[in-house]
Structure 1
Amino acid sequence: MTLRKFAVALAAGVSMAATLGMGGAQALEKVTVAYFLEWPTANQVAQVEKTYDEAMGVEVEWRAFGNGNEMTQAMMSGDVHIAYSQGFVPFVVGISSGAPLKMVGVAVTYAENDLCIIRDDSGITQANANELEGKKVATPIGNVTHYKLLKTLEHLKVDADKVNLVQMNPADAAVALVRGDVVMSCGFGGALDRMKTVGKPLMTGAEQEAIGINTFDIVTVTEDFAEEYPDLVRKFLEVTEAANAAYKDKPESAYAVVSRAAGMDMDATKATMKNFGFPSVADQAGQNWLGGGVQAMTKGVADMMVSGGGMDAALDDYSSFIDDSFIK
C-alpha cells in the first residue's frame, strides 16, 4: 500500500472509529501494547518479568506488529492502547489524517540499526546513486525507514519519483535483496543483518546523522486512554525508565531475556542493542525532544511528506499531539 493510499484508508478509519466510539475504557480488563519482534529493547526485561502488570495493576498483553502503520490502525480500532517503539513517520501520517493519538515519550534512538543496503554486485555507490532511478528498491512505506530513504535520495540528488519503491516489511525485503529481486532494501533489526550478507549501507547511520537525518521511535497512546487512565500511562513510562536504567547499569544481565522476547539469537541482540540509545525521561523532557524539538520536526516531516506526494495536507500545528506531562 502506498503512503497516499494508507492516508486515505486511515481517514476513513478515523470516521468509522468516531461513529463506533472509541470509549470502552470503562470495561478495561487489560492493557494491550504494540511492539516489534526482532527489535530488542531494554524494557523487554520488564515485559517478560511482568513488571508492567504488577506496577499498572492490570494484565498487559504484548502484541507484535509488522510496521508502525499497522499499529496506528489497531489503535484506531481500539484493539491497542499503547504503542511502544512506533515509528515517528507513521505517527505523523496518522495524526495528520485525524488519528486520535498522542506521543508521550521517546522509546529508542538509533542510526546504524535502520539502513538501506545496496547489493555488492550492483556497482552502485553514493557517487553514482542516480543509477537507482528505474530500479526496484524494497522498503516499508510510510514509516521512519521510508522517510530516511527519501531524505537520503534527496541528499544524493536521486529523483525518488523515478525509483521503483516496492512496499515490503523488513523481513520480506531481506529475502528479496538476497534473492536479487531488488537492488536495494531498507529495514531494521534482525532483517538488516540478513541484508548485510549481500551488501553494504548506501549511507551509514553516522553519515546520515551528520546531514540531519535523525532516527528514533516513540511511545504513543490513544487520546481516550490518556484521558481516562493517565496513571496507567505514567506507570508504563516509569517502568520503562527503570528498565532502561537497569540496562545501562548492567547490559550483560539483560541480553538473555531480551533476546528471547525479541525472537533473536544472543549475538544479534547484543549487536543491535549496542547501537541503540534509551534516553532518560529527563533527556526526553529537554528542548531537543518533547520540550520543542519533536514538535518542530513533526511539522517538518509532515510538510516533506506533502511535498513528496505522500499526504494530501499537513496540519498547521502539531503541538497538541505531543504531551510531555507524563514524563514530568
Structure 2
Amino acid sequence: MRFIRYAAAVVVSGLVAAGAQAQGWPEQVRFGGFGQGFGKPYGLAVLAIAQGKGFIADEFKGTPVKLSFEYFTGTGPAINEAIANKRLDFAQYGSLPNIVGRANGLPTRIVTSYGYTTIFGVARPDLPVKSFKDLKGRRVAVAKGTVLHWAFLKALEGNGLTLRDVTLLDLATADQLAALTAGSVDAVIGSSVLLSLRDKGLAKVFYSSHDIGPKAAGFGAITVTESFEQRYPEATQRVVRGLVRAAEWLGHEENREEALQIWTRSGVPYQALRDEYAGVALKDIFNPRIDAFFVSQYRDAVAFSQEQKLIRSGIDLQQWFLPRYVDQALDQLGLQGTWPRRDANGKPLEG
C-alpha cells in the first residue's frame, strides 16, 4: 500500500515538475553538514543516511540535477560562512549557529529537523570531576558558536555557574581530543566522538544529556536558502521527501547496524556511536516534523541566546519555518502516522 501511495505521489510530483520546468531545474544542489574534524567527506544524522542510501539521489532520477555534499571541520560557524558566500543550498547544522546566522541576516528557511545529538562531558581521569558543578575553576574546551556551546552554557546555568567560573577554550573536535590527552585542558563538552578517549582510559564521562532527555540534548535543523526555495520549490520538495525517507528508514530497528556503519565514515568510532544510541529508538530521535515541540525548542534557544548576548535581536519563527514541505512529504509517502505531532513538552498529541 505504501509503495502504491508513493508511486502515485511521484506521478503527481511529476506533473508539478512539468510546471517547474519553465523555471528549469537547478544545475546542482549543494548540501553542507557538520563534520567531526577529521577531514572526512562524510557526516552524521539524517543527511548522511540520505546521501549514503541514495534517498535524495532517487528523487532526482530522470533530471539533469547533480548533487554535491560537503562536511565542514569548522561545523556551524563554517557552514554559516559558506551560506553567506553562496556555496550551499541546503545545510544540516545545530540550533545555535542556525539562530546566530538568521539573527545576523542570513537568508535561510528551516524545512525539517535533523533530530537531536547527545551531549557528553568528559574530564581527565585524575581529576575529581563528577558533575558540572565540579568544573568551577577548571579549563574547559568546547567548539564556540556550535550547538555544543549552547548546551554547555545551558548546563552551566542549570548548575548555578556562569562563564566567569570557568576558563573556556575554543577548540575544534580533533584539537579537543589532543588537548585533553596532553592535559592542557581539564574537561571537554562535545559529541560521542569523545567516548573514544574514555575507551582508551584517557578520560571519564561525567555528563550525558541522554540521562536527562531530549530537552537537554543538542538539536538543529536542515535549512534551505531563501533564493533556492523560491526559485526551485519542486526541487526543494524532492530534497525534503528524500530526507523524510531517510528518517523513516532510520526508524526501522533492523537498519540500526547499517546506519552506524554509515556514520563511522565521518571518523567517529563505531563503539562511540553504538553507545550514544544504545537504549533509544532512532525513530524518536530522527523525527522530521516541525511541530510544537520543535518550535518550542527553538523559541527557548532564541530567548537564551538573547539573554547570553549571543544575538542582539529576536527572530520571527513563523517567518523562519517552512513546515509545508515536511507535511507534504508525509502525505505523499503515506507516513502521517509514523511520527505523531508533539506538544511543547514533547508529549504526543492524540488524534
TM range (shorter): 0.7 to 0.9
Give RMSD over aligned pairs: 2.8
Q: Provide closer, same or farther for how the CA distance between residues 87 and 256 of structure 1 changes in structure 2, counting only shifts above 3 A.
A: closer
Q: Name the residue aligned to 1:123.
A: 128
1:293-316 CA deviation, whole Å, 9 max, x = no partner?
3333323222222322323x1216
- How much does 1:62 deviate? 0.5
1:72 aligns with 2:77: no
**Structure 2 residue identity aligned to 1:205:** S
Say whether the 8 Å CA contact 2:244–2:288 is kept in structure 1: no
CA-to-aligned-CA distance 1:233-264 (integer Å, 9 cap, x gap): 22112112222322332225624761464344
Distance 1:279 1:206 in 2: 13
Residue number in structure 2 paired with 1:221? 224
Which of the residues 102, 107, 123 maps onto 1:100? 107
- In structure 1, what is the equivalent of residue 317 of structure 2? 318
- For residues 215-237 of structure 1, the C-alpha deviation after alignment (integer angstroms, 9 at most, x for no partner) is 32311111111111122222112
Task: Determine if contact 2:55/2:245 at 8 Å carries over to the other structure.
Answer: no
Q: Which amino acid letter does the alignment assign opposite residue 97 of structure 1?
A: N
CA distance in 2, matches of 1:315, 1:259: 35
Match of 1:154 in 2: 157
Cα deviation, residue 136, structure 1: 1.6
Which is greater in Rg? 2
Structure 2 gap ranges (5+):
1-22, 37-42, 328-351
Match of 2:33 in 1: 35
Note if 1:198 corresponds to 2:175. Answer: no
| 8 Å CA contact 1:118, 1:200 repeated in 2 | yes
Secondary structure (helix, strand or coil) at the match of 1:35 reads strand
Contact 1:40/1:272 (<8 A) preserved:
no
Where 1:134 maps in the other structure, the secondary structure is: coil
Shift of 1:141: 0.7
* Total equivalences in the alignment: 292
CA distance in 2, matches of 1:316, 1:240: 25
Query: CA deviation digits over 1:139-187, x for unaligned, max 9?
Result: 0112211111111111111222231111112221121111111011111
The partner residue of 2:181 within 173, 178, 181 is 178
Name the CA shift for 1:291/1:27 in 2 (closer, same or farther; >3 Å).
closer
Give 1:81 shift. 0.6
2:282 counterpart of 1:277: yes
SS state at 2:210 partner: helix
Instruction: Write the distance in 2 (CA, Å) between the matches of 1:265 and 1:162.
Output: 33
| Inter-partner Cα distance in structure 2 for 1:109 and 1:322 | 18
Distance in 1 of aligned mates of 2:207 and 2:225: 35
- Secondary structure of 2:216's partner? coil
Cα 1:30–1:260, aligned 2, differ >3 Å: closer, same or farther? farther
- Residues 142/266 of structure 1: CA separation in 2 closer, same or farther (3 Å cut): closer
Which one is further off, 133-142 or 146-155? Answer: 133-142
1:87 partnered with 2:94: yes
Structure 1: which 5+ residue stretches go unaligned?
A: 1-24
Q: How far apart are the structure 2 equivalents of 1:209 and 1:87?
A: 17
* CA distance 1:256–1:319, change in 2 (3 Å): closer
Distance in 2 separating the partners of 1:79 and 1:159: 36
C-alpha distance in 2, partners of 1:77/1:240? Answer: 24
Given that 1:136 and 1:164 are in contact with CA atoms closer than 8 Å, whether structure 2 keeps it comes out as yes
Q: Give the whole-Å Cα distance in 1 for the aligned partners of 2:242 and 2:196.
A: 30
Contact 2:139 2:169 survives alignment (8 Å): yes
1:195 Cα deviation (Å)? 5.6
